[in-house]
Structure 1
Amino acid sequence: MPPWFEAFLSAFLLSAGYNTAVVAVGSALLGAGGGAIGAFVLLRKRSLVSDAMSHATLPGVVLGFLFGLAIFGDGRSLPLLLVGAAFTAGLGMLAVNWIKANTRLTEDTAIGTVLSTFFALGMVLLTVLQSLSVSGQAGLSGFLLGSTSGMLASEAMTIAVAAGVVALAVLAFFKELTLLCFDEGFAASTGLNRNRLDLTLLVLLLAVVVIGLKTVGLVLVIALTIIPPVAARFWTERVGRFVPISAAIGAFGSYLGACLSASAPDLPTGALIVLILFALFLLSLALSPVRGILSAFIRHRRFQRIVHVRQGLLALAHDEPILEPITRRLMKRRGYVTGDLRPTESGWSAARRIARDQALWNLWREDCPDEAHALADWSLRPIDEVLPRDMVADLEARLGLKAEPARGATA
């Protein structure tokens, strides 16, 4: 077994030491919080706001370091750095909202302006700080791409506790945030304050961005709030499942990335986490039974087979030749025709049922065109499985057809 794999397995099983275990668990909690709040941000179509926030944290990190250096003689206090990051990120968020509300510029333009300006300011301050004769400033570069290899146990515990608080806050406001994302009018009619809920959502997003700086880095922390919900969207259509799945993807990807970083400390933690999250996104895109590429292909092929068999049976019912090779092959496989394309007894029986259903569907479509248009694949299912029995009997009477016994009925 390669040494790196042994190190990874040890970190994965939480047996690589207390500090590594705390970092891994803290990263998982951070990923869960980012995935959960990112689900609501995605539903509100405000995902890029997190990008502006993350880049706006850089000047705050430098200012927090300088403040701690001036007041306490040590600028490497993680809580102080995070407070500074939260301050400038909040300013960036307010700047985006102000530009959007008071100018003709769109939100994406405001985000691009604030993002580039704050990041440029942060790079200038970081360059100036590195030119000063003070100790500890070299570690600030870890906030760009994330670094857990040199993280203290106290710092990891701070991140874990903060991430856990964010996850609990998402659970506490789950109902209100769901109403905000899907029906603002109804949320307001129930007495909820839309602006206050929007602010709550942005504050939780800000918290994830800030506490994720040390783990993922300000350049890549946006991935924690975008990739997990996008991947989770392939697995479900219900928000009650969407948010937990997003949180689970974020937690697993972050945990796995932290374990890999522990086994390969020379690689950037943030980049590893993002790459793993992207791999989970690709798996969701390909294998999800709800919206995945493979399931869509299978559904399409099944639909094609249904259409081909139906057209073949209608051709039999109208005494027409079956010309399409795929239709011929499927009809033979189902036992509806012989090798020389002669109808079998089961083929005639199925053809009569299909012809009867088609006639009833055509009459119902004439009577109810709007309902027929809204009903997907309305003519590909037996009419008795879609319409009430009394309505089918009425259609049969109007066409002069002999009513067939209901499914499961006995003579």
Structure 2
Amino acid sequence: MSRSLCGRRRWLTLALPLVLAIPSGLFAAPPPPADDHSIAARVTTGTSGTSLSDNRIRWPGWEKISDTLLLRQYNTRIVLLGAILLGIGAGTVGTFMLLRKRSLVGDVVSHASLPGIAIAFLAVELAYPGNGRSLPALLLGALLAGLLGVLCTIGIRRFSRIKEDTALAIVLSVFFGVGIALFTIIQKLPTGQVAGLQQFIYGQTASMTSADVSLIGLASLLVIAVSTALFKEFGLLCFDEEFGRSHGWPTLWLDLALMALVVCIAITGLQSVGLLLVVAMLIIPPAAARFWTDRLGSMTIIAAVLGGLSAWLGGVASALFARFSAGAVIVLAGTVFFLVSLAFGTRRGLLPRMRRQWSNNRRIGRHDLLRAVYEMLEPHLDSAPPDASGDPLGDIPFTRDQVLSRRSWSATRLSRLMDRGTRDGLLTAVTSGWKLTASGAQEARLVARNHRLWETYLILHADIAPNHVDRDADLIEHVLEPDLVSQLLETVSARYPQMDMPPSPHPLEPGH
């Protein structure tokens, strides 16, 4: 294991648990034990006496805002802690699923858990009438059904010719259909009011209890611990599974372990955001993190932070506006982070990419102009190298029409390139036209040399005809690194010894 990988794993081990290390006294339960249900029931400041049919959204007062932000209400602390822990765990494991192009596995797990919930309800109801809504039994059924759905997906993919996306769609639709059918049967039972089970479909974040938070915390800690311990192995699984399998790595068991983590987070999040929205917590934070970095460790940490921030922002908004569903607001908050990352992400964001493309186009235009000027002035240079007084390339004037006659450019583009070259200090206007400055002459020689080095290499080693090599060299010459230029110079030095500027391998004709 490399030193950087060890450092990254050690960083993950220290940083992520610190996010979870919140002072326990902050979440100590107050003396009244009855306030453990919903944010709307907990925080009623300024809304007493309001009719139940009043659907207007009321802006919270400063007292309510300060109570929420300072976590003065016990239930607010419980809900926010549970949601943040779930967001951190979902962002962590979702990173690996995104890179494996299996983001919809979370959707399959959540929908596949529906028949498990229904079967667990029926089994407990038949054994102990009236106790069918036992939360441990329902979560156990959801867990087993989710694992069965994952195993079915892996089995279809490995032992048939069906592609993975088709297998995911088959398992999702079949399990969800079975779940809906079982829910219909439950609804017909005398004690089977299905309203008690709808929280697993739509979620009910505001009704989380301290026991729920403990369960979510254990699941998140388990996900973080396993992800940290198997970070290198999961990275290999994401980027080159075939390589790992060829070297004896247990890729199947690693895949199953990763799927088990997804099932753990998805089932844990059913009660908080519901099976319809838990997949968003697994996908959106990693997708947003992908716009900021290309490193797996950094992406994992960013996804965990964004997942926690989304949960915090959604929980706070739900506490301030009692009519907002916390699960939906959490997903919308994550969507806001995704849109910001899409626009401003430093690695893959739209605006930075447009800026890099604009800068690259400017650099290509400058190189094309300087090479055109050099090739036009080269026949007028003496064969002797320039003396110490200056580069003779900068003493030869030229006109705009001369450059235009050697390139199939429009007059507008040439004027724009020359004006930009003047502002960059590469060209200077004189009475008879234009001249290269000292820095312009130096860069023109460098650009022309790199172009000809690459042309010569393509002719010698790629068997490209001299009359076609100019266009091929144009595609790569603008991204040549200094070390690659040195290698090209060594490669062609045998053919052109003691020559700083190789000759053009093709005739330089006007309009070329």
**TM-score normalized with structure 2 length:** 0.69
Shift of the 63–25 alpha-carbon distance from structure 1 to 2, 3 Å rule, reads same
Counterpart of 1:177 (choices 227, 234, 248) is 234
Structure 1 residue 136: Cα displacement: 7.0
* Structure 1 letter corresponding to 2:437: W
Report the equivalent of 2:417: 327
Structure 1 residue 80: Cα displacement: 2.1
Measured against aligned partners, the alpha-carbon deviations of 1:209-258 in whole angstroms (never above 9, x if no partner) come to 10010111101211122112111111111112121112211221122222
Report the equivalent of 2:429: 338
Measured against aligned partners, the alpha-carbon deviations of 1:240-288 in whole angstroms (never above 9, x if no partner) come to 2121112211221122222222333433332212211121111111101
CA RMSD of aligned residues (A): 3.4
Report the equivalent of 2:151: 94
Counterpart of 1:365 (choices 431, 449, 454) is 454
Report if aligned partners of 1:223, 1:274 keep a CA contact under 8 Å in 2. yes
Within a 5 Å distance, the mapping from 1:49-198 to structure 2 comes to 49-71=105-127, 73-134=130-191, 137-188=194-245, 192-198=249-255
Shift of the 61–401 alpha-carbon distance from structure 1 to 2, 3 Å rule, reads closer
Q: Give secondary structure in 1 for the equivalent of 2:235.
A: helix
Measured against aligned partners, the alpha-carbon deviations of 1:310-361 in whole angstroms (never above 9, x if no partner) come to 33334444233464232133123224233989435xx332342233223422
Report if aligned partners of 2:285, 2:307 keep a CA contact under 8 Å in 1. yes
Report if aligned partners of 1:285, 1:292 keep a CA contact under 8 Å in 2. yes
Q: Give secondary structure in 2 for the equivalent of 1:149.
A: helix
Identity %: 36
Q: Give secondary structure in 1 for the equivalent of 2:273.
A: coil
User: In structure 1, how many angstroms separate the alpha carbons of the residues matched to 2:430 and 2:161?
Assistant: 71
User: In structure 2, how many angstroms separate the alpha carbons of the residues matched to 1:339 and 1:221?
Assistant: 68
* Structure 1 letter corresponding to 2:331: V
Counterpart of 1:223 (choices 277, 280, 284) is 280
Q: Which has the greater radius of gyration?
A: 2
Report if aligned partners of 1:180, 1:197 keep a CA contact under 8 Å in 2. yes
User: In structure 1, how many angstroms separate the alpha carbons of the residues matched to 2:343 and 2:277?
Assistant: 24
User: In structure 2, how many angstroms separate the alpha carbons of the residues matched to 1:226 and 1:27?
Assistant: 16
* Structure 1 letter corresponding to 2:434: P
User: In structure 2, how many angstroms separate the alpha carbons of the residues matched to 1:125 and 1:218?
Assistant: 16
Report if aligned partners of 2:109, 2:147 keep a CA contact under 8 Å in 1. yes
Report the equivalent of 1:350: 439
Shift of the 4–101 alpha-carbon distance from structure 1 to 2, 3 Å rule, reads farther
Report if aligned partners of 2:187, 2:193 keep a CA contact under 8 Å in 1. no
Report the equivalent of 1:211: 268
Report if aligned partners of 1:11, 1:262 keep a CA contact under 8 Å in 2. yes
Report if aligned partners of 1:308, 1:330 keep a CA contact under 8 Å in 2. no
How many residues of Structure 1 are paired with residues of Structure 2 in the alignment? Answer: 400
User: In structure 2, how many angstroms separate the alpha carbons of the residues matched to 1:285 and 1:32?
Assistant: 20
Measured against aligned partners, the alpha-carbon deviations of 1:113-157 in whole angstroms (never above 9, x if no partner) come to 221222122222223323433377423112112111222232233
**What 5-or-longer segments of structure 2 have no aligned partner?**
1-57, 377-397, 405-410, 463-468, 502-512
Return the structure number with greater helix share: 1
Question: Quick check: 102-111 or 220-229, which moved more?
Answer: 102-111
Q: Give secondary structure in 2 for the equivalent of 1:338.
A: strand
The higher relative CO (CA closer than 8 Å, separation ≥ 6) is in 1
Report if aligned partners of 2:93, 2:282 keep a CA contact under 8 Å in 1. yes
User: In structure 2, how many angstroms separate the alpha carbons of the residues matched to 1:214 and 1:382?
Assistant: 54
Question: Quick check: 159-168 or 216-225, which moved more?
Answer: 159-168
Report the equivalent of 2:100: 44
Report if aligned partners of 1:308, 1:326 keep a CA contact under 8 Å in 2. no
Structure 1 residue 390: Cα displacement: 8.1
Report the equivalent of 1:405: none
* Structure 1 letter corresponding to 2:360: F
Question: Quick check: 67-76 or 117-126, which moved more?
Answer: 67-76
Shift of the 300–312 alpha-carbon distance from structure 1 to 2, 3 Å rule, reads same
Question: Quick check: 68-77 or 157-166, which moved more?
Answer: 68-77
Structure 1 residue 304: Cα displacement: 2.0
